Amino acid sequence: MTLVFYESSHRILNTLEDLKELCPEKELVLAREITKRFEEVKRGSPQSLLLEYSNHKVRGEFVVVI
């Protein structure tokens, strides 16, 4: 089953931490700022995405696809 939900920049790191514990083997897609100038789409495991986004200040709205 595919899950799609929105997450704020204030909660995305906590959500990735939770997903790392609940489903570490799942492939995720994080889309940030969809339909805006700085749109960004990343794909990977919860752990790899957490490492990528924890290194800098997270901004924008996220769509999470599991």
List the chain pLDDT tens, one digit each, 66 residues.
Answer: 899 999 999 999 999 999 999 999 999 999 999 888 889 999 999 999 999 988 888 888 999 999
**From residue 4, how far is each of 44, 55, 66 by CA, in Å?**
15, 25, 7
Q: Which residues of 16-43 are buried (b: 16+ CB within 10 A; e: fewer)?
A: beebbeeeeeeebebbbbeeeeeeeeee
For domain 4-65, which CATH number applies: 3.30.420.40, 3.40.50.1100, 3.30.950.10, 3.40.140.10? 3.30.950.10
Q: Domain ranges for the chain, please list them.
A: 4-65
